[in-house]
Amino acid sequence: MKTQPLKAILSTLLILVFLFMLVTGALLYFGKTGVVWGISRYALREAHFWVAVSMCMLIPAHLLLNLRLYKSELRTLRGGEKREKRDKSK
């Protein structure tokens, strides 16, 4: 399987999981009563926890699939591309 569709699926899942965590976290933080939008705080806490667990599994997979890109970005931050250009001009 080509990695590009897998990267797209993984990135989309991470965005959706993040948005779900953001909403459930905000509901838990700002909804101080026992029921929020007809959902018990217990159910919100459980959903928030299990989505966090899934995010903990998706993030390392995302990092592994994009390792080459991250290494390239780190080289750029350290000034590696400038050094390579200077070496080629000599």
Report pLDDT digits (tens) over 33-59.
Answer: 778 778 888 899 999 999 999 999 999
pLDDT at residue 16 in the model:
95
pLDDT at residue 73 in the model:
87
Output the DSSP codes for 1-62: --HHHHHHHHHHHHHHHHHHHHHHHHHHHH--SSEETTEEHHHHHHHHHHHHHHHHHHHHHH
pLDDT band, residue 22 (cuts 50/70/90): very high
pLDDT at residue 18 in the model:
94
Q: Can you say how many angstroms the Cα of residue 28 is from the centroid of all Cα atoms in its chain?
A: 21
Compute the half-sphere exposure of residue 3: CA atoms within 13 Å on the CB side of its CA.
8
pTM over 0.75: no
Quote the tokens at residue 41: 């705080």
